[in-house]
Chains A and B, each alone.
Chain A
Amino acid sequence: MSQRILLMIGTKKGAFFAETDEARRGWRLRGPRISGTWTVYSLAYGGRRGDRGRLYAAASSNWYGPAVWWSDDLGETWAHSSHGLTYGDSGPAVEQIWCLAPVDGGTVYAGVDPAGLFHSQDGGQTWSHLGALRARGTRDSWRRTNAGLPLHAVLLHPHDRRRLWAAVGAGGVYTSPDGGEVWTRLPDAGGPCVHALALAPEATSAAGPRLYQQGHDGVFRSDDGGRTWLDVSAGLPSRFGFPLATHPRDPRALYVVPLDSAGARRAPPDGRLAVWRSRDAGSTWESLRQGLPDEPVHAGVWRAALTTDPLDPAGVYFGTNTGQLYASPDEGETWTAVAPYLPPILSVSAAVLPE
């Protein structure tokens, strides 16, 4: 059976979708969905590979606040709710929902700003706060960033879905052994300002799975579930960047987009837009830019806007904060523009669908 790839693109003005077949050469774009008055921070596909699953979107409106949206027809029609997504009458207002992590059976985790973790057990309709992560002693050390105070990543152990990792900017990395009831703060890698956190596939040793992070101060690897971190930034043109994506099968392969941090420029060094790849767990890096613009680029790529798909060879995708969406069907070797004029892109994620 042939497969389809669905790219889900969260933008400042709604959600867009691009579909293609296994060759990943021609794309069909649709959108905006959810309407342009909503900023879509991230999208996630809740189906098992091969099933037609539920799509989830984390979105906020300047007027109507944050809500989780879901669609059972691959993004054509949507429902929404934020029932229970609150710190209560005496707590701070939830400003934004940053990330969604669907698990089997209608369970979904949501990371929000101000940082905290919620979960739903009915496919997004009602939510409850997993309060331990926001315990007073923990949150006192958190500091707001230019992007607010987001809990922007929730990761699930590939074989033990109760073991979680969460990243707070700027507040460090946390792990839970029991689905979010109890949390431990892991040591900082370069500092508490974690921009992106990702699990490597199938790299589970006795010490724990392999994690990578792009922080404010560099790219880091942990081979023990986050207890110790190794700086793997050498060879990159900048230690700074926002996104990081892992390969679907190779635990040594990862992708980043280095950006200048000097003067808050947040654009590629020397204006040369490139995805950088390592195939040896960060020991060496190569620049991948065949098909990307030759002219200077004064745009950046935000933390959730770089991803891979699970095909072989893996597809790699990213979107810029000036609305260009690029795709590579060959692990980053060559790139083509899928859409040149979208709204500023906040997130890109990929799912495999049955034909």
Chain B
Amino acid sequence: MATVLLPRTLVELFPAAGGRVDVDARSVGDVIERLDAAYPGMGDRLLDAGSRLRRHLLLFVDQERATLDTAVGPRSEVRIIPALSGG
């Protein structure tokens, strides 16, 4: 199971998720699908139309910048980070 670390501002929207979620997934896109299944609506908060990552969010797998296609291993750590976006 990969471990996903969620940002505080996302946990505020889905308190039941807590800050740390374990998922069985093979790619980052897969991770988001599993998160959305467990916490309905979370996918819409992370992805824009056309299943693109929202433009002010960053993904890391094992501390390397990642995309939705990046592979995820059984012991990977996936982080979703809100970028600085002003305002």
Chain A residues engaging chain B, CB cutoff 8 angstroms: 12, 35, 37, 39, 61-65, 67, 80-83, 86-94
Contacts and interface: CB of A to CB of B under 8 A. Distances in A.
Contacts of A91: 49
B44 A65 contact: yes
Contact of B49 (A39, A67, A86): A86
Judged by DSSP, the binding face of B is loop
Contact of A83 (B10, B44, B50, B56): B44
Contacts of A81: 41, 44
Given A63-B54, A67-B44, A80 B13 contact: yes
A64 B49 contact: no
27 contacts: A35-B9, A35-B12, A37-B9, A37-B12, A62-B56, A63-B9, A63-B10, A63-B56, A63-B82, A63-B83, A64-B9, A64-B10, A64-B46, A64-B54, A65-B45, A65-B48, A67-B45, A80-B13, A80-B41, A83-B44, A86-B49, A88-B49, A90-B50, A91-B49, A92-B49, A93-B50, A94-B49
A89 B13 CA distance: 24
A348 B51 CA distance: 34
B49 A89 contact: yes
Nearest to B7: A63
Q: On chain B, which size bracket covers the interface?
A: 20 to 34
Centre residue among A62, A63, A92 by max chain B CB count within 10 A: A63
Contacts of A61: 9
Contacts of A89: 49-51
Contacts of A12: 87
Contacts of A83: 41, 44
Nearest to A87: B49
A90 B51 CA distance: 10
Contacts of B63: none
Given A62-B86, A80-B41, A82-B41, 4 more contacts: A62-B87, A63-B85, A64-B10, A65-B44
A94 B57 CA distance: 17
B25 to A, nearest CB: 21
A150 to B, nearest CB: 18
Interface of B: 9-10, 12-13, 41, 44-46, 48-51, 54, 56-57, 82-83, 85-87
Nearest to B83: A63
Centre residue among A61, A67, A91 by max chain B CB count within 10 A: A61
B39 to A, nearest CB: 12
A65 B41 contact: no
Contact of B44 (A37, A82, A92): A82
A12 B86 CA distance: 12
A200 B51 CA distance: 43
B57 to A, nearest CB: 6
A63 B85 CA distance: 8
Contacts of A65: 44-45, 48, 54
B57 A63 contact: yes
Given A88-B49, A94-B49, A64 B13 contact: yes
Nearest to B85: A62
Give me the 4 closest cross-chain CB pairs, A-B, nearest first.
Answer: A64-B45, A62-B85, A89-B50, A63-B82
A61 B49 CA distance: 16
Nearest to A95: B48
A67 B44 CA distance: 9
A61 B83 CA distance: 12
A64 to B, nearest CB: 4
Contacts of B50: 89-90, 93
Nearest to B42: A64
A239 to B, nearest CB: 31
Contacts of B85: 62-63
A99 to B, nearest CB: 20
Contacts of A37: 9, 12
Contacts of B10: 63-64
Contacts of B9: 35, 37, 61, 63-64
A64 B9 CA distance: 9
A82 B36 CA distance: 13
